[in-house]
Amino acid sequence: MALLLTDMDDYLTTSGVTTAIYRGRQPSDPSTVVTIYETGGSPAVHGMSGSPGTALAEQPSIQVVTRSTSYSTARTTADQCFDLLDGLYQTTINGTRYLYIEALQSPFMLERDDQERTRIACNYRIVKDLTA
């Protein structure tokens, strides 16, 4: 089974995001990057007669953080990721079926880092099919 961060990286890359994408950590260089983090998520979805270990779907979540020395570059990249992920429906990535992805809010200014680079973030809820 493919890993969630790998799937999201592959989807964004093949959909046209050309900025370097990192999974789970944001290195100090290069200055312009996209980082995908796993976040808490929601409980698994179980059927009425389900038992432990037989969930029908997982509901993980991710945070996509863009960073650049230029606010407009960080914002444009965050908006591109938003447009690709928010509302994504019934898509198979690396053999895993994703039922739905939705943004939990619009991209927002997270902070400026210690080098004054802009960091913009957006959180996404994912529903991932476990029955396939």
Q: What is the pLDDT along the chain (132 residues), one digit of tens a residue?
A: 359 999 999 999 999 999 999 999 999 999 999 999 999 999 999 888 767 778 899 999 999 999 999 999 999 999 999 999 999 999 999 999 999 999 999 999 999 999 999 999 999 999 999 987
**pLDDT confidence of residue 132:** 72
Selection from 109, 5, 129, 6 nearest residue 57 by Cα: 129
d(CA 89, CA 1): 20
Q: Which two structure tokens, joined as six digits, stand for 30?
A: 């290069």
Query: Beta 21-23 vs 108-112: how paired, if at all?
Result: unpaired
**pLDDT confidence of residue 47:** 84
**pLDDT confidence of residue 1:** 39
Strand partners, 128: 58, 98
- What the chain holds in terms of domains, given with CATH numbers, is 4-129 (3.30.2000.10)
**pLDDT confidence of residue 131:** 84
